Amino acid sequence: MIPRIAPFCQTPSWQKQLNNAIRCPTELLRQLKLPNSLLAAAKESARLFPLKVTHSYLARIEKGNINDPLLRQILPLIDEQCPHPDYYTDPVGDLDATPVPGLIHKYRGRALLLATASCGIHCRYCFRRHFPYSNHKSSNNWRQAIEYIQKDPSIHEVILSGGDPLSLSNSKLFRLMDLLEPISHIKRIRIHTRYPIILPDRIDLELSDYLHQHRCKIVTVVHSNHPNELEDQVRDSLKLLNDNGITLLNQSVLLAGVNDSADTLSELSEQLFTCNVLPYYLHQLDKVQGAQHFAVSDTQAKALIKALRDQLPGYLVPKLVRENSGDSAKQPISG
């Protein structure tokens, strides 16, 4: 009898890939063949908000191109260090809408649960880059948030956010979702995640099977800003979710130097739809301190949406919105 040879697994587990994420600016510049002149600012800005990028995402960045639209999303720049009077550490008023630690309740019928503080990537424009997660010890300690949701029958949808909820291991994520399952007034669970885009191996069979079997309708809102992000493995991960009956939507942030062109946004919508993902929101940048260099004016944003309307069917044109602190819903920006 010929002995069975164990299959040689070339790809490390998603957890290993996450552990191996690049956190050192020197290493980032070396791997991407970028000039050392960027190093001092990158180190300084990474002290304000650490650098973090997976190798999977890094592989989609063009070496030597300091204007690469994916690089711009993750490279700490000197611009982050210039304080701006109209930019804030809590730009959307999260802290005024946290009735219990680990839970944000702003909008009627929906509550947002901070499942974890951790993300698989650090987006330089992140609106929660200054969020005091240590005051909201949510991971493994969801008791107060769950009790709050249990007591409010008007909450029909729970949004798992963070950080990125898929930073949790499957067992921890399932434990959390098991706590939500018996709450009869919860109809939907929405998962806000960048993992299918930045570390597609995170979407494994165990996860997709679990989501498929959950009593609640599962909606996954991914976050892609540029068509270069949608490589083959990303498509496979989205297909796995779609095949398991998960509704897929995308939200993008409008970012100067990344996706502030009608051709880029149009291509993004087209590519997303080939993965069964509907473009949902195009967010105007939340005015978070350190991200002002990503801002695009409302005039330009409206012109971009008009150009998209001229190029695309209506269902592929995302809604242009802004989140204002204290508002009861996201505000559409109409032209």
| Angstrom distance (rounded) from CA 37 to CA 29 | 10
Q: Name which of 216 and 222 has its Cβ closer to ligand SF4.
A: 222
Minimum CB separation from ligand SF4 for residue 35, in Å? 25
Q: Name which of 200 and 312 has its Cβ closer to ligand SF4.
A: 200
Q: Name which of 126 and 301 has its Cβ closer to ligand SF4.
A: 126
Minimum CB separation from ligand SF4 for residue 119, in Å? 3
Residues with Cβ within 8 Å of 64's Cβ and at least 6 positions away in sequence, in order, are 32, 33, 34
Q: Name which of 68 and 164 has its Cβ closer to ligand SF4.
A: 164
Residues that bind ligand SF4 (CB under 6 A): 119, 121-123, 126, 128, 163-164, 194, 223
- Helices 170-180 and 205-213: crossing angle in degrees, nearest 10, is 0
Minimum CB separation from ligand SF4 for residue 193, in Å? 8
Minimum CB separation from ligand SF4 for residue 251, in Å? 10
CA dihedral 276, 282, 283, 285 (to 10 degrees): 110
| Angstrom distance (rounded) from CA 271 to CA 284 | 21
Q: Name which of 119 and 177 has its Cβ closer to ligand SF4.
A: 119
Secondary structure element (H or E) that encloses residue 153, with its range: none
Our measurement of the distance from residue 159's CA atom to the centroid of its chain's CA atoms, rounded to an integer in Å, reads 13
Minimum CB separation from ligand SF4 for residue 133, in Å? 11
Indicate the length of the chain as a whole number.
Answer: 335
